[in-house]
Amino acid sequence: MLRKHLFKTAFSFFALIAAASAAMAQSPSATPPVDDDEPIRIDSRLIVVPVSVVDANGQPVTGLTQADFQISEEGRRQQIESVGSADSVPLDIALLFDVSASTDAMFRFQQETAVKFLKDVLRAEDRAAIFTIGEKALLVSGLAQAGPATESVLAIPVERAKQPTAFFDSVRAAADYLRENSQSGRRRVIVVISDGEDNFSVGVQRAQRTAERRVVDNRPDPDLKRLGQIIQQAQQAAKVAERQKVLRALQDADTVMYAVNPAGSSYRLNQISVFGQENMQIFSDETGGTAFLPNFGPIDTNDNYLNGNNRRKNTELLERIFRQLGNELRAQYLIQYYSDATYPDGKLVKLSVGLTRPAARVRARQGYYVRN
């Protein structure tokens, strides 16, 4: 009898367990079944690659699809998740004007030409933010449609073009601004009108002060010539370091940078100007943009006829540049893919983008920095 009673008790216990399990399976809070067809991504990063495609004449190549692109990461082919065209992906532009003394003479016609560019390129869903490059980065107006943005451009006073230049700080501020304020899935572009020279960014000033203190502390009555050489070397080292910080900011913000140097061919006159043009060339190449170097004529000579003639030619040349820039923006695609490769934090991962069809020129970012 005792054995029979124990058997009935055990049977009731297991029956209770089974009933509870069935109730949990029917409960709304239970974990739903996994769909085998739904992709599961573990420890993968979404990589955004802006790409522009133009033909041999610089005209936009439209109508490309996901099947037309190929992308490799560190030499390994990647599976493209999606491709958005310029028609379907809104655009956010940060337009930067250099208001330092080095660009003073042609500042007004740069403003007027940039206004035409914004009116031509920006659609109803597109926006532009306006910055000036002077002794510090200044956000003149935040992301807005073409009307308010162009008004902000024309409101920048010419007389402000008498300042030192914090070029690195300004470009990095624009990249950070787009990263923080431009929504995911939008194209991000920075357009800079500058000679790329910097003598006032925080990092450059800090290096100069540190070099001065080091010399004075070691020698109360220093050789002024030697002091100047030491300061110059410290500034140059700081500029190289700042260049890398700016490039990192541009890549982290998924931006494409375009640059126009009003100095033209005269940039070759000194090493500071050469380094400035190199800055803009590197930033443009690495992000998939273009650095334009127009051959502007002087408009501040003693010959009024020459000034007027050069002003007309310069305006026509700048308008052609902005038309080409507009073509590239209209030929821009936004490629997205997931990378599940394991890289150390901060590594620059090299990218390569190509087309399955010939007879087209592709510009794309050259890499991205890993953020684990």
Are residues 73 and 202 both part of a single domain? Answer: no
Q: Is the pLDDT of residue 58 over 90?
A: no
**8 found inside a domain:** no
**Domain that residue 95 falls in:** 91-330
Question: What CATH number is attached to the domain comprising 137?
Answer: 3.40.50.410
Question: Cβ neighbours of residue 183 under 8 Å, at least 6 residues apart?
Answer: none
- Provide the domain count of the chain: 2
**Residue that has been written with the tokens 């800090």 in this structure:** 206
**23 found inside a domain:** no
Across all residues in the chain, what is the average pLDDT? 85
Q: Is the pLDDT of residue 176 over 70?
A: yes
Q: How far apart are CA 96 and CA 259, in angstroms?
A: 9
Question: What CATH number is attached to the domain comprising 366?
Answer: 2.60.40
| 276-313 tens-digit pLDDT | 999 999 999 999 999 999 988 888 889 999 989 988 99
**306 found inside a domain:** yes
Nearest Cα to Cα of residue 369 among 272, 254, 291? 254
Q: Is the pLDDT of residue 22 over 70?
A: no
Are residues 182 and 294 both part of a single domain? Answer: yes
**52 found inside a domain:** yes
* Range from 5-9, 187-191, 264-268 carrying the lowest mean pLDDT: 5-9
Are residues 303 and 159 both part of a single domain? Answer: yes
Are residues 256 and 195 both part of a single domain? Answer: yes
**Confidence tier at 254 by pLDDT (50, 70, 90):** very high
Are residues 122 and 163 both part of a single domain? Answer: yes
**2 found inside a domain:** no
H or E segment and range at residue 141: strand 137-144
* Range from 131-135, 137-141, 157-161, 249-253 carrying the lowest mean pLDDT: 157-161
Q: Which of 23-32, 61-70, 225-234 has the highest mean pLDDT?
A: 61-70
**Confidence tier at 229 by pLDDT (50, 70, 90):** confident
Are residues 239 and 345 both part of a single domain? Answer: no
Q: Which residues pair with 258 in a beta bridge?
A: 191
Q: Is the pLDDT of residue 10 over 80?
A: no
User: Considering just the CA atoms, what is the radius of gyration of the chain in Å?
Assistant: 28
